[in-house]
Structure 1
Amino acid sequence: MSTVKNKQIALLLSLILLITMALTGCGQSTESAPAPDPNETETTENEPLVIGSTFTLSGPVAHAGQMAFEGAQLAVKYVNEELGGINGREVVLKYYDDEFDESKIPMLYEKLITQDKVDILLSPYTSPFLAAAPIVAKNDKMMFCIAADSYVANDAFGQNIVNIQMDDQWRGGMWWHDVADFFANFEKWNIKGEEKPKTVAILNLEISYGHEVADAVIPFLEENGYEIVYHEYFEPMQSDWTPIVSKLKEIQPDIVFQPHYFEDCVRFIEKCKELDYSAPYMIIEGMGWDTLSWTNPEMGGLDPTVAKKGFFSYSVFKNKYESETKDYLAAYVAEKYNSIPGNDLLCGFMAVELAAKAANMAGSIEKDALVKVLTENEFTLAGYAYKMNATGGNAADFHWGVGQYIPEDINTADMTANDWFCVWPEMYKEADPVYPFPGWK
């Protein structure tokens, strides 16, 4: 395990100790509980079941957080209308805005658990979930991850953390497993007879996710004949990508890989266009992260004639993937946005969806009962399948896919997603990929 991961686990365990010392009055009483009052039990059964979470509704990644929130809200609607709630109880969402501020997370989750007494917990959006994990574990609760950005919390707290997005091998790099496999199998889809790319530049993200991406993706690419000629970590929300684009123009890699937040990806591509730079293959996370907003300047994205140029990313939404909730979510997004669901919307939806389906199957919201059904059954969710492994990650055979926008004419490309196609793996493939990158002229 890397030094970064060890430090993160140590920090999580230290948080538990500090919080326990500071909040001793919040612990459970050692006195035996009185026998339940039948009238109180009946009242509980008639009361709504509360799912609690924080969402990033303001702050630096508010747009992404708001999309995840919309997905969770839609899932609550689906659970109530299509599943009859959870164990017959209407589901409601109790939430706070965490502003993407990790320092606020422990207090907010302690409040959700001890004061609001929510029945089921969802995680904060991406990296702040690490600050929530010790609170959840200290109170012996489970947390269904909306968009876990690493496997660190699973290392420390195991099945208390329901990490839908990752397995215990690729970890945070799981998001890119199919993309890496796609380029490893270049000869299988290279119908043009192009020379196989050889060199890769990685503009990585300085959070635990970025380090797990590096730990998984770099060895895999190197084993398959690729040379990493540039790899650097960047803090989120870079103000100016000019020096980096200038560096890329000097080293001329065959592949540029940018696993970053949506906003940074937009700014990077804008700078590439401004400086007339492109690599033959451009793997840009922001496009796959939020396909809906990527082509819409009013939602923080790019002009469609730029956004649909021929980038690669993961494709969480896959038309050939069979799922009732995938179709439900797709119909909603098509009607409201004339597009397809992005990753944020899907992740927000799937966390609620999995919690509800597991609780209904178990007939309970108790942790042990949920763990039993999650480990013994595979759940077909809106984006991919989930089955719990020994540390809370995903043991199912699931795929993030590889996708591209492939418009008939880039000059008349619009904001819709009618031209989004999954190009890998074969089981979900809808079209041959477009390559190499055509440049900006």
Structure 2
Amino acid sequence: MGRRGSVLVAIVALIGLSTACETKSGRDSGAPADTDEPIVVGSTLSLSGAFAATGAIHELAGKLFVDRLNADGGLLGREVRWVVRDDESDQAKVSTLYEQLISQDQVDLIIGPYATPNILSAMAVALRHGFTMPQHTSVLAPLMDYECQFPGWSIGPEPNKFVPDQLFDAVASLPNPPTKVAIVTNQNGSTDFISYGSDADRTGAVSIATQRGLDVVAEVRYPPTTTDWAPIATQVRDAAPDLVINNGLGVDPVNLLQAMAQLNYTPPLMFSLFPAPGPPLGLGATADGLLSVTIFEPNKSTLDKLGPEATEIVDEFQSRAEAADLPYTVFETQAAASWTAWEILAAAVEGSGGLDQQALCDELHANGATTTFNGDLTFDPEVNNFWPPTQAIKQIQDSDWVTVWPTDRAAAQLRRPAS
């Protein structure tokens, strides 16, 4: 069994064990409604390690949300306090930290961590204690089968099909669409899933490209710990693709683009799945035309549709990000997913009128949540609560990310890079 299969089997086993050990200890948590005690929300984030660049975005978005919430009276008339622990981008630490937050710190509410493997580990703890858990960014929808987890970013129940189909539809609209594709995949569970599907459904970018008549001229799978990108870059260059698909995370596309540039090679077109948004912009012309996924970009046309509150949030986030010296200060996909998860949590509390965990879960199933950046959401446990996708495709144009697909959401036209 490959690395990806072993990871997924271990995750499923962990969730199965959690089901067998499930208790209801979390369902009666919280002080009486008339108390002045703060409502405490617990979570972890990747504030160090491989995911730190993205974790910092989620931390800042969460702090901004809590500050604005408290300025507006908090929840149930009580102040909200957020306790966040650093999971160091290490899935092995997540379970222990969430167990501590619930059992020792006795938090009232939880919200999920960043990155699919971490979310799966946190979900197992939430299930065991009966806690409702909104989460920002899980991609492995088939494994998110705990009925009281609620996604703040949806690529639908079959993202292994939705993402490749959306990308291939987008590039097919170009005057000279790509015919040869290289697919370079981080073996992290969520990214490998987009390329190759799951053990139950082997559909992914590789098989869909072939079904669409594209020539897959190179397939490269690399471990998340990869530091030497030269052999990968050489293999891609020698395959001479029209489109490079990097189903990777964080700074993977930066490392790959830099390695290809050292070979004096620039791919005609490149897509990266889940990059940290700032680092590619730092490459200047080297990253011109890079494509990725998005649920929100603060392009003027988008903000005009959403109204003044969205603009106020975007501006305040940028001000705080600049003060914190974040490498990328724009409120975009990661921040919007984080914001949506917090809005889901707040909707559950206010709608149910308390902190009973089952009531929170039932409220979201019954009435959904209204969100600033993704509209009115509904949650169906039959599809693991993944709502209809709002994801789009963005591209680096003139040193900025802009939404380019689908056309009814685009702020600019999809184009090939100038080079």
What is the TM-score normalised by the length of structure 2? 0.83
Instruction: Describe the SS at the equivalent of 2:248.
Output: coil
Task: State whether structure 2 residue 228 is matched by structure 1 residue 240.
Answer: yes
Aligned to 2:63: 73
Separation in structure 2 between the aligned mates of residue 91 and residue 139 of structure 1, nearest angstrom: 21
State the Cα distance separating 1:111 from its structure 2 match: 1.1
Instruction: Describe the SS at the equivalent of 2:144.
Output: helix
Pairs within 5 Å for 1:22-171: 41=32, 44=35, 46-82=36-72, 84-126=73-115, 127-151=117-141, 153-155=143-145, 157=146, 159-166=147-154, 169-171=157-159
Alpha carbons of structure 1 residues 266 and 431: separation in structure 2 relative to 1, 3 Å:
same
State the Cα distance separating 1:85 from its structure 2 match: 1.6
Give unmatched runs, 5+ long, in structure 1: 34-39, 296-301, 408-412
State the Cα distance separating 1:176 from its structure 2 match: 5.5
2:250 equivalent among 262, 266, 272: 262
Alignment check: 8 A CA contact 1:173 1:217 kept: yes
Aligned to 1:36: none
Alignment check: 8 A CA contact 1:56 1:124 kept: yes
Aligned to 2:292: 313
Aligned to 2:280: 294
Equivalent residue letter for 1:61: F
Alpha carbons of structure 1 residues 223 and 65: separation in structure 2 relative to 1, 3 Å:
same
Deviations 1:30-81 (A, max 9, x none): xxx9xxxxxx73653x211111101111222222212211111111122222
Separation in structure 2 between the aligned mates of residue 207 and residue 360 of structure 1, nearest angstrom: 36
Pairs within 5 Å for 1:197-346: 197-214=178-195, 215=197, 216-285=204-273, 289-295=275-281, 302-307=282-287, 309-318=288-297, 319=299, 320-321=301-302, 322-323=305-306, 326-336=310-320, 337=322, 340-346=330-336
Instruction: Describe the SS at the equivalent of 1:375.
Output: helix
Equivalent residue letter for 1:349: W
Separation in structure 1 between the aligned mates of residue 153 and residue 16 of structure 2, nearest angstrom: 26
Aligned to 2:390: 399
State the Cα distance separating 1:221 from its structure 2 match: 3.3
Alignment check: 8 A CA contact 1:262 1:290 kept: yes
Alpha carbons of structure 1 residues 271 and 160: separation in structure 2 relative to 1, 3 Å:
same
Alignment check: 8 A CA contact 1:346 1:383 kept: yes
Separation in structure 2 between the aligned mates of residue 121 and residue 11 of structure 1, nearest angstrom: 23
Separation in structure 2 between the aligned mates of residue 92 and residue 343 of structure 1, nearest angstrom: 24
Alpha carbons of structure 1 residues 396 and 133: separation in structure 2 relative to 1, 3 Å:
closer
Alpha carbons of structure 1 residues 360 and 97: separation in structure 2 relative to 1, 3 Å:
same
Deviations 1:149-181 (A, max 9, x none): 4225413x2x12212323553246655653243
Alignment check: 8 A CA contact 1:403 1:423 kept: yes
State the Cα distance separating 1:395 from its structure 2 match: 4.5
Equivalent residue letter for 1:328: E
Separation in structure 2 between the aligned mates of residue 423 and residue 90 of structure 1, nearest angstrom: 40
Give unmatched runs, 5+ long, in structure 2: 198-203, 323-327
Larger CA Rg, structure 1 vs 2: 1
Alpha carbons of structure 1 residues 172 and 143: separation in structure 2 relative to 1, 3 Å:
farther
Instruction: Describe the SS at the equivalent of 1:261.
Output: strand
Alpha carbons of structure 1 residues 27 and 365: separation in structure 2 relative to 1, 3 Å:
closer
Aligned to 2:201: none
Separation in structure 1 between the aligned mates of residue 312 and residue 378 of structure 2, nearest angstrom: 22
**Which deviates more, 391-400 or 119-128?**
391-400
Identity percentage over the alignment? 22
Instruction: Describe the SS at the equivalent of 2:252.
Output: helix
Alignment check: 8 A CA contact 1:166 1:172 kept: no
Judging by fraction of residues, say which structure has more strand.
Answer: 2
Alignment check: 8 A CA contact 1:203 1:231 kept: yes
Count of paired positions:
394
Alignment check: 8 A CA contact 2:15 2:124 kept: yes
Separation in structure 1 between the aligned mates of residue 103 and residue 160 of structure 2, nearest angstrom: 31
Alignment check: 8 A CA contact 1:12 1:130 kept: no
Alpha carbons of structure 1 residues 372 and 17: separation in structure 2 relative to 1, 3 Å:
closer
Equivalent residue letter for 1:197: P
